[in-house]
Chains A and B, each alone.
Chain A
Amino acid sequence: METQPKTFTDRDALINHVRALSPSLSPDDVSVSDTRGGRQAGQNLLGKIDPIAYGHSRNYLGGAVSYLSPYIRHGIISLNEVRNFALEAAPEDEPIRPIEKFVQELAWRDFWQRVYQQNPDWIWQDVETYKTGFAPDDYSDTLPDDIETARTDCAAINHFITSLKTTGYLHNHARMYLAAYIVHWRRVKWQAGAHFFLAHLLDGDPASNNLSFQWVASTFSNKPYFFNLENLQKFAHPQAPCAEADNLALAGSYDQLAARLFPYGVSS
């Protein structure tokens, strides 16, 4: 059998070869991320992690996140390696608390993988009922075209969609915002959103992605996750366009939004 090449004149040549090996790809699928594959690229990022700053800033879109997730997803860098590296960053007199959030985030990945191992059927099925006052049939099966094309009436949401499609990456908080918008504002089944994310995220993993979507939707959590414009402005400015006039659907108190998004009440 013929082996495939492992040297290319440049990245464009590699991309052309990948396309030739992928006849099922849509001709419209043309985006390639600036993020490079390979262990060397992952190790470069590993050398730059700042677990202590991560603990202070991780919820902010400009926070000190590691960008290691695509490398962890494909086993290029192991969770164990990252954790051991983080331990080195902790002060000797306080070895846990300053890096706790960083290590806990690694543990989420381990948790999702263990859940996947125990219950592979949960990946595409509702684990529990929605607690949103709606039945599964109340949600659309397909992603609306304006979401697919980043032409919703919310500028911040469009920014997240465009970033997802062009870079293959979204900050975790942006994923939660976009997932909540898809499921709760637009009442689309979480499965449609999960498919959309998996098609674009370099780190998209059936367990982490889909079970997180179910956590947002409330089919794998005690209540639906949603947010308001004030929260978005706190954590996503200035990385995303957060002006109220450009994001009217997200504005309001949590009580006002809950009444609008879940008019039949949230169950537990």
Chain B
Amino acid sequence: MSALIWLHEEALRASHPLFAASATPAKSVFIWDDAYMTAMGYGLKRRVFLYETLLELPVDIYAGDTLETLQTLATASQASQVFAGATPNPRLNAILDALPDTLKVTRVADEAFVDLPEPENLRRFFKYWNKAKKLAFQPNGRR
């Protein structure tokens, strides 16, 4: 069985850990979803910027509804797993949550800015910064 790498708009980098996450051969895809981009409020400027970025990436571009297209591609390539960049974006997470149970979904976090446990009740920047600054000036954000 193979895997699909779903490269969404928040992980557009060939060195993203996403590309090293699959133990089996994986096909990388980006879905150009007009309705999604409209829901995100993206105008022509942003869309051109995104398409130009895709030209340099090892990814096949498909156009259509993201969820439907992902399912079609997974079926066609007999994929049992989907890898995607971890994101706080609820629209992208809803797509991953809606994939059928037959597809194992793995959200792969990007390299961290600071290797810091999630502080509770984030509200004011300087409470976060007082904890983060000990690591923020270290290479790779770690001691």
Contacts and interface: CB of A to CB of B under 8 A. Distances in A.
Interface in B32-54: 32, 34-35, 37-38, 40-54
Contacts of A231: none
B62 A33 contact: no
How big is the B interface, by class?
35 or more
A30 B45 CA distance: 8
A18 B113 CA distance: 33
Contacts of B51: 14, 17-18, 37
A30 B44 contact: yes
Interface stretch (A148-156, A200-208, A240-248, A251-259): A200-208
A198 B42 CA distance: 7
Given A76-B53, A84-B140, A39 B13 contact: yes
A212 to B, nearest CB: 11
Given A18-B47, A111-B122, A103 B136 contact: yes
Contact of A14 (B11, B48, B73, B112): B48
B111 A37 contact: no
A115 interface: yes
Given A39-B56, A78-B13, A78-B111, A107 B48 contact: no
A22 B34 contact: yes
Given A32-B44, A83-B141, A75 B11 contact: yes
Given A37-B50, A38-B53, A111-B129, A1 B88 contact: no
A96 B137 contact: yes
Contacts, number: 185
A114 B125 CA distance: 11
A29 B44 contact: yes
B48 A84 contact: no
A31 B46 CA distance: 10
B101 interface: no
B52 A37 contact: yes
22 contacts: A1-B73, A3-B61, A14-B48, A15-B48, A22-B37, A29-B44, A38-B53, A39-B57, A73-B10, A74-B49, A74-B53, A76-B12, A78-B111, A99-B137, A103-B137, A106-B136, A107-B128, A107-B136, A113-B88, A114-B118, A118-B118, A120-B90
Given A21-B34, A39-B53, A39-B56, 12 more contacts: A4-B61, A24-B37, A33-B49, A37-B50, A38-B53, A74-B50, A78-B113, A107-B113, A107-B125, A107-B136, A111-B128, A202-B49
Interface of A: 1-4, 6-7, 14-15, 17-19, 21-25, 29-33, 35-40, 70, 73-80, 83-84, 87, 95-96, 99, 103-104, 106-111, 113-120, 168, 195, 198-202, 204, 206-207
